[in-house]
Structure 1
Amino acid sequence: MEDSNKLEEGFGPGPQLASKNEQLEGERGAAHDVSIEAETKGETTSEVQPVKRKRVATLDAFRGLTIVLMILVDDAGGAYARIDHSPWNGCTLADFVMPFFLFIVGVAIALALKRIPKVSFAIRKVILRTLKLLFWGILLQGGYSHAPDDLSYGVDMKVIRWCGILQRIALVYFIVALIEILTTKIRPTTLEPSRLSIFSAYRWQWLGGFAAFFIYMVTTFSLYVPDWSFVLHEHHKSERYYVKCGMRGHLGPACNAVGYVDRQAWGINHLYSDPVWKRLRACTFSSPSSGPLRKDAPSWCRAPFEPEGLLSSISAIVSGTIGIHYGHVLIHFKGHAERLKHWVCMAVVLLVVALILHFTDAIPINKQLYSFSYVCFTAGAAGIIFSAFYILIDVWGMRTPFLFLEWIGMNAMLVFVMAAQGIFAGFVNGWYFKDSDNNLVNWIQEHVFNNVWKSERVGTLLYVLFAEIIFWGVVSGILHKLGIYWKL
């Protein structure tokens, strides 16, 4: 991922917006909150009393899988560069995390807002949750926390990072949920007997997604990117570097419109200072791993770049739109076969479109730019995996093997903060003997894993699997049994 500022990836459980006490066939529960660990409740009216509802097991398992992937690539990606973010074009395991969260946020929005008794109340809830996500995003990913290795805290407001994973999720959630709420009066209760009726019934959601796509594509390929410069502060001295551009439609690291928009919107000092493009062959001989910069490395190799910036987040709205479509299918199609046919067909189409765009070099798959081919490829992959989970868990009833993922998915905000952001490890590291490096976390990693396997790479991987993923899975399971969840 992108160090402690990274996570890719929807968050924050909380009270569910009201919905009728009805059960969809084949569904293991009713609506979810749009964040990654919502609870469900029934609609409160004079006729219907609040009812505690079961959760949708497939949603929790998919969300839990995404959290597991996030921790794995975040903390083991340094040892295994092939699973870390692609330095530029291409797609690795880490590059699926962010769009998977946005996909599941979209699915959850459709279920959570299936019934809206009062539009103004729903809008207030969406605005409040958006503000909470923005607050936690800036606090955790803006640079205030230096955990787990650096025990200091605080951030220089001159260089605070305004963008991040939670901020992107907040934007996508806000736009997609707002469209869903404002179109509630024209929402169909039943669909026409047409293959495309599910699309026409929710045309405003698709028009919103198309508007985001249009803004992104026009800006990316028509915006003029001039020459630019930046100042790098190293070893108590400052040096200015210049990048020559003067072009439009460039999709490389140096002169793309995505970076230009962020430099203008936020200021270059507030962008992510350690972008993954530093692992490109043009920047280091250690590529695809991290390493010292080449002496002849172009100046942009040292420049900051925001992977969760403004223009790329507008493109990310399409990921949420595709997710909410999958949720609409879950609501309106009653049979398992109907749902799966629609989901899988759409996923295959998205994958084919993405591969054609990528291998013809028309629009390469690129997570940093959040290109359209990347949206299609990751959404298609999410659709396939979601469908597979639905078959295994909801159709075949194989829930027990996936309880581990469900537990993590139900307390994903907790696992994100404590594990992915290193808050728990930072707390443990705060208790050390003589030297801050002489702490329990480092001792366990070195003596229990690295020394036993005589390999730092294998030891790192096993540490992440057992001391982080399995550990937090067990903790999440215990908290679930106690009915304790972190809610936003």
Structure 2
Amino acid sequence: MHDPKKLEEGFGDLANEQQLVKEQDHTRNFDGDEKEDSRIGTNQPMEQNQDEQSRQQQTTAVTSKPKNKRIATLDAFRGLTVVLMILVDDAGLAYPRIDHSPWNGCTLADFVMPFFLFIVGVAIALALKRIPKVDAAVRKIILRTLKLFFWGLVLQGGYSHAPSNLSYGVDMKFIRWCGILQRIALVYMIVALIETFTTKLRPTTISPGFFSIFPAYKWQWLGGFISFLIYMVTIFTLYVPDWSFVEHHSDGSKRYTVKCGMRGHFGPACNAVGYVDRQVWGVNHLYSQPVWSRLKACTYSSPATGPLREDAPTWCRAPFEPEGLLSSISAILSGTIGIHYGHILIHFKGHTERLKHWVSMGLGLIILAIILHLTDAIPINKQLYSFSYVCFTAGAAGIVFSGFYILIDIWGLRKPFLFLEWIGMNAMLVFVMAAQGIFAAFINGWYYEDPDNNLVNWILQHVFIDVWKSERVGTLLYVIFAEIVFWAVVSGILHKLRIYWKL
């Protein structure tokens, strides 16, 4: 029987390995293998003198197929990414240095999104290495894409105000169309469809040579190159004119104008990434609290959040979409690099061969990114999802993935990382309940006299902040123990009960 804990592709399906393949194989088996198994396990015409014990052994051999080996690194890496998201989102206010970089540069928070896209690519390669029916695979890919987009819209489109605000609902005039899950949905769809439609062109063996795997999967790399080309041509050549926006207040609204009239600019105000989103989605549908407001030009509190300076440029008040259309096209390359790591995992069976490819590519990408950044050719920038940012974060993902592979799957040091595996197998649940604050909002709904008098705030203040006499240390410890450790335990219990949230 198939192992019910196999991995499957994408961010949303975190419990089972190759679920898509398993379901399609199940359909295929009704046409062939499964019928044969049934014949062996039932009373078919046979030699009368056949040994009954031999028949039982044959039936057992058919119905008890050996389980596929689980790649624990995949779950641990996914779990690490979710833990990082919780840490930087909830402790970032206390420790601004780990929060998203206000503009150029890369902080701990800036690794979260590309790490997700990298592991989506790796998982897709494993899940789609056998595709008996392309049409069925395409339907599942499209359906899963729509599910991811829907949940992204609910959680980050403005409908949910969790965890601090107990109200819900969104004015469709200001709904945010983009977000984390929406970007993952786009990258997943493109990368998975390319993998699916090229299934007949996929090699079963790779010829000797360090670079032989690249031409073997040329269509996947062609898709990544096209996304790279679209992004680079657009960001360097698109003319960005002056633009305006309206800042809304309780006592009225005020219109501001941003002066541009240029092309090929990598600054906050006049880049092509923001211009494309303003034209496609409309300025009212962009993220209203961009991290660039923490720049020194905008606030004296930089790099922390603070009141705007009186002489702050007008764009400091403007909206900007960090998960916008053009930057998401660039993000497809992160998924392409991830699927390349998955292809290496499939075709190279030796640990040394795998690590040689993974580590060399990771280091090469990091070196390329640093050169582009230090020469000011293309700065590392998460908000723009620049090419140097893709290289730097994908290279880092490859190195971390290789490190986990050595520790967990080669050396067998699995117990210290079990909590990451548990979270990784239920990452969608933890993402929604913890990272998006839905569970905290549920707890906050039971308050005494005032909404601020709730259990979450009481634990944070009296169990952590008051004990350590420090708001920063108390907040950090609250995030570690009351959120990360708590959800690790919950995920472990759900794993024991074989309960997983799948899309």
Q: TM-score range by the shorter chain?
A: over 0.9
Residue 487 of structure 1 is matched in structure 2 by 502
2:8 is the counterpart of 1:32: yes
Aligned to 2:128: 113
Amino acid at match of 2:333: V
Task: Specify the alignment match of 1:403 in structure 2.
Answer: 418
Within 5 A, what are the aligned runs for 1:384-463? 384-463=399-478
In structure 2, distance between residues paired with 1:333 and 1:62? 20
Task: Return the alpha-carbon distance in structure 2 between the equivalents of residues 21 and 153 of structure 1.
Answer: 42
Deviation at 1:402, TM superposition (A): 0.6
Counterpart selection for 1:263 from 258, 265, 278 = 278
2:341 is paired with a residue whose SS is: helix
Distance 1:75 1:54 in 2: 36
Q: Which runs of 5+ in 1 are unaligned?
A: 1-19, 23-28
In the alignment, which residue of structure 2 is the partner of 1:15? none
| Contact persistence 1:30–1:111 (CA under 8 A) | no
Counterpart of 2:164 in structure 1 is 149
Alpha carbons of 1:21 and 1:39: their partners in 2 closer, same or farther (altered >3 Å)?
A: closer
2:145 alignment partner AA: T
Contact 1:188 1:201 in 2 (8 A): yes
Could you say what secondary structure the match of 1:329 adopts? helix
Equivalent position amino acid for 1:141 in 2:
Q
- 2:238: which partner in 1? 223
Residue 197 (structure 1) shift: 1.2
Q: When the two structures are superposed, what TM-score results if normalisation uses the length of structure 1?
A: 0.93
1:477 corresponds to which letter in structure 2?
G
Partner residue of 1:81? 96
Whether the aligned pair in 2 keeps the contact of 1:34 and 1:112 (CA below 8 Å) is no
Q: Deviations over 1:13-41 (max 9, x none)?
A: xxxxxxx979xxxxxx8653222514135
Q: How does 1:316-355 map to 2 (within 5 A)?
A: 316-355=331-370
Q: After TM superposition, give the deviation of residue 196 of structure 1 in Å.
A: 1.5
Equivalence for 1:246: 261
Maintained 8 Å contact 2:6/2:15:
no
Match of 1:152, as an amino acid?
Answer: S
For 2:116 and 2:401, the matched residues in 1 are separated by 12
Classify the secondary structure of the residue corresponding to 2:236.
helix
How far does residue 54 in structure 1 lie from its aligned partner after superposition? 5.3
Return the letter of the residue paired with 1:200: P
Corresponding letter in the other structure for 1:216: Y
3-state SS of 2:209 partner: coil
SS at match of 2:33: coil
Quick one: which amino acid aligns to residue 97 of structure 2? R
The answer (yes or no) to whether the contact 1:31–1:114 under 8 Å persists in 2 is: no
**Higher alpha-carbon Rg:** 2
CA distance in 2, matches of 1:86, 1:482: 40
Shift of 1:290: 0.5
Identity %: 78
Q: Contact 2:103–2:381 (CA<8 Å) still a contact in 1? A: yes
1:130-156, Cα deviation, whole Å (9 max, x unpaired):
000010000111011111111000011
Aligned to 2:389: 374
Task: Kindly provide the CA deviation profile for residues 323-382 of structure 1, in whole angstroms up to 9, marking residues without a partner as x.
Answer: 000000000001000000000000010000000000000000000000000000000000
Q: Is the 8 A contact 1:31 1:113 kept in 2?
A: no
C-alpha deviation, 1:458, in angstroms: 0.6
Specify which structure has the higher proportion of helix.
Answer: 2
After superposing on structure 2, the runs of 4+ consecutive aligned residues of structure 1 that deviate more than 3 Å are 48-55
2:162 is the counterpart of 1:185: no
Judged with a 3 Å threshold, the aligned counterparts in structure 2 of structure 1 residues 434 and 30 are, in CA distance, closer, same or farther, namely closer
2:245 alignment partner, SS class: strand
Counterpart of 2:292? 277
* Structure 2: gaps of 5 or more residues: 38-62
**How big is the shift at 1:449?**
0.5
Equivalent positions of 1:169-180 (< 5 A) are 169-180=184-195
Q: Distance in 2 between matches of 1:434 and 1:195?
A: 67
Query: What secondary structure sits across from 2:247 in the alignment?
Result: strand
**Structure 2 contact 9–124 (Cα < 8 Å) conserved:** yes
More divergent stretch after superposition (96-105 vs 40-49):
40-49
TM-score (norm 2): 0.90
Amino acid paired to 1:448 = V
